[in-house]
Structure 1
């Protein structure tokens, strides 16, 4: 059956400008870090991408090493493009990254010009694309000169492989350096992708929000639900089918402490009073900052995407609600 997307897909989800660029992203974006690999069920991946696009989620975020196995998420997305989304390519923002280990030897990791350009070419081939909309350096490289890494991003844009340059996991000081170099090259950075959630607030004392604002770079946060901990799934402990119950997941059972469970339950009460799920509250909380352009969600089934896309429907968090949330998150602050 030919995919016919929902005509009203642009009516409800807000779009936000990425820093001072002309690019706007949906407030909720879909990341393909998990559940889109070669080991996963293709029809589930297809249903999730269709659900996302029908909800107005036009941004799909990948990386060279997403899978498993590495590279297979891009192969899956390439197939989904051919099956469903190719007619709508100009309505999509597709991003990829390089910076973690991808192939053996000294040229398959970190931030050299050789690695980034070769990896971008391989990503385009896997997805069957002429270009990606955004290409990121995935993490800071402590050894390669930043000028080389940013010069590679500039070349990737100027050669037509990508429309925009971006970075990921860059703390404030490094972001300022990278943004200055790219600005000088004439290819400004449009996004920085850090982790951020109610339970992972490193970017606040780091000063990253100030750096994003000062440099005109948009923030797009990953793991805003703390690997699913900030969802109704953990309100009553650790379900057998959860990431925390899996030995291979990033969320470990020892992170679901009694103290965390108490916090999750208290946050769930605030969410319920707002007519929201806990996941929706957690997304609204990270998106309260004007410096944050979008929140990247992961999903294992379409219903989670539908839930996330409605995260801002309850309206902005009030000052009173923010005080209540802060008291839960930092009970000893007073």
Structure 2
């Protein structure tokens, strides 16, 4: 991995947004999640045989989150105690949104390999009922060595969604509904030209559940923008989330392809319908949350986009 990309990782947090800030940027770690390649993970486990990620909080979700990254042999904990920004939700009343981040640089393997880990988490919670919360985000781990045959071999990434209404389902899926969803996508972008940036976009979905069937869902991530070195630039590269059939639990794993670049055929996405608003079987699930990743080739560079999304049902279709 070229050292300029390592330095980009070290300043990526500053490119995630302004405002706020905690005075203590220390992290707590146990072990090292040594997972090769670009991977995507969910709270239930990995779509690819890599890791699992859980989001932990203190006494309430308003506290700085901790992400637990579990590898094959050990786990590593990161406390994200740099508050980037906070604001009231524009979609759901009574909800507060906080975005946290961290950067950790260190020497590992007897000081022969420099490493940087970056993480970013958005937590939304109900100010009157902090048991009602959801967190989504991503982490990036970079090795700063120059002898990899493929520069992306030194990059490990994960994205995740965790929350009160994204656990085990105890009620059946609704039937005979159609609904559309829209919400933010937050993630990372990396390519072989040593570009590293925060990727943000809009995640749109269409859900169809006919009578007596589990149904299907499909969507896309578009309107992408890259944020790096305090500069924002638009990108035509997005993600097509191919139609996937629902499981009885309201989850699914599907394939994804690149929009606006040559797809390298390794795209995946995984998602879950929230269990909220299922008291009436005619009600559509309030939200969909999940993760997605694609690898692409465009011009003289290859790269990947990964991230997490949380999309809310349009009022007119719920």
- TM-score by length of structure 2 reads 0.27
- Structure having the higher strand fraction is 2
Which has more helix, going by share of residues? 1
TM-score by length of 1: 0.26
